[in-house]
Chain A
Amino acid sequence: MILGLISWARKRSPWIAHFCTGSCNACDIEILACLTPRYDIERFGAIVRGSIRHADILLVTGPVTRQVRDRLLRIYEQMPEPKYVVAVGTCAISGGVYRNSYNIYPGVDSVIPVTAYISGCPVKPENIINGLSFLLKKIGESE
């Protein structure tokens, strides 16, 4: 029963931290749009936290450059378990338009494990909410 309670709580209270690895900022603006009255992801209990130590979900936008790789790893290691990473936008999934560039890794998942991918360039807020609810379902199942 306690495990059920914990998994319910985890599903209902995803706190989000947002990390930009060098995107063109369009994806970041769409993430911000999710907080506005029109989309309002606080319905799911999601709050955007500044400190990575408070967060459960890391939203990564943009292509991972060689310079930002170490910072991304460090941020990821500072998160408390259980932690989930979501790659937001085509750049974060595969490198997008910057793919095959000399200083770009092919996607976030070549650096840290990723649980969910949200595609689009830039992603639509509806799409982010869809990905978030998919992730929440997955969190509920994995417990």
Chain B
Amino acid sequence: MSLESFLFEALKIIFFPGFVFIFILALFYEWFDRKFYAKLQNRVGPLYAGPLGILQPLADFIKLLSKEDIVPKGVDKVLFTATPLFSLSLSIFATLLLPIFSVKGLLSFEGDLVIAVVLLTFLCIITFFAGVASYNRFSIIGAERSFLQLIGYEIPLMISVISVALNAQSVTISSIVSSQKGLWYILGPNILGFIVFIFAAQAELERIPFDLPEAEQELIAGWNIDYTGRRLAMFRLAKNIELVFLCGLAAALFLGGPLGPVVSGYEPILYTIYFIIKSIFVLAILTIVRALFARLRIDQIVSLSWKYLLPLAIIQFLIVRLMI
């Protein structure tokens, strides 16, 4: 590899569409989520940090970085330090799979859809360990709940993703995206799968109505109760990056990812713009779900998943199976 192409690749990984771009996107998505949520509740939302409060997530992040870092007595020090790092690095790794500026992601290989789904489960397992590491009664309950939730939404999520893969006859994100050149899968037979995916994504992100692991009124802050300063900042950033990842994955699997009408020569820029527009559309749906519903009980979540989401996902699978 020549020096120039090496430098080009390095710039790609560091700036666009690598770490810096993902960081900015994650903060922007959190701002959009909070602002839109506030608008839906007839409030104003963040206003004074930057124009329209757009720098609010950045302010939160910097403030948390500059706060005192407390390691309480009696926590498992190794896990307590390792879990924030793991969750951040895994979620960044997951976003590198997204097809942002072209049909292929920065990392793209045969079968990367499987890796993407596995990473989601890993992130949930890390949440569990983070809760257990602090040996706090609330955090342990929160961690248990996040696992119980996993039992509920994991299988419908997998089946909805599998039906997309079956439709495209491939488990590679780039070929799934390019097989949607004619018709997006949400318009095609996969609308049910999209609905299942939205609910499962909401549960994966632990947002209302599935925010049991950090239910504020019952568990104070749930699994992250004892984390302060830098560690909490990392967890929050990892959650936001996961939000970007899930919105982007939904856009790539169901909405045709970065595809759209292009002017030749400007493909990367246009692709990026289309990708952001589509994933923000998904984010808006997630925010509306968050504003519409109240929190469910844990048994209600599991029965919702097994009684409604799972049959929906199986019907989806059968429809796709019969159509091809």
Contact = CB atoms under 8 A, between A and B. Distances in A.
Contacts of B45: 40, 42-43
Given A43-B53, A50-B216, A12 B59 contact: yes
Interface string B195-237: 0000000000000000000001101110011111100100000
4 closest residue pairs by CB, A with B = A51-B221, A9-B62, A80-B68, A12-B59
A97 interface: no
A49 B228 CA distance: 12
6 contacts: A12-B63, A43-B46, A43-B47, A44-B47, A53-B228, A54-B228
Contact of B69 (A8, A78, A80): A80
B77 interface: no
A53 B59 contact: no
A113 interface: no
Contacts of A56: 63, 67
A13 B68 contact: no
A37 B43 contact: yes
| Size bracket, chain A contacts | 20 to 34
Contacts of B49: 12-13, 45
A9 B59 contact: yes
Nearest to B60: A13
A10 interface: yes
Contact of A5 (B62, B216, B224, B229): B62
B42 to A, nearest CB: 4
Interface of B: 34, 38, 41-49, 53, 55-56, 58-63, 66-70, 216-217, 219-221, 224-229, 232
A81 B68 CA distance: 5
A40 B47 CA distance: 10
Contacts of B44: 40, 42-43
Nearest to A9: B62
Nearest to A53: B228
Interface of A: 5-6, 8-10, 12-13, 15, 36-37, 40, 42-45, 49-51, 53-54, 56, 78, 80-82
Contact of A40 (B38, B66, B69, B229): B38
B55 A12 contact: yes
B43 A42 contact: yes
A54 B67 CA distance: 10
B38, B61, B67, B224: most-surrounded residue (chain A CB, <10 A):
B67
Contacts of B60: 9, 13, 15, 45
B229 A50 contact: no
Nearest to B216: A50
Contacts of A10: 63, 66
B221 A49 contact: yes
A50 B66 contact: no
A12 B220 contact: no
A68 to B, nearest CB: 18
Nearest to B218: A50
A45 B48 contact: yes
B183 to A, nearest CB: 41
A56 B232 CA distance: 13
Given A6-B62, A9-B63, A80-B68, A42 B228 contact: no
Contacts of B70: 53, 78, 80
Contacts of A51: 220-221, 224-226
Contacts of B34: 42
B42 A13 contact: no
B241 to A, nearest CB: 19
A37 B59 contact: no
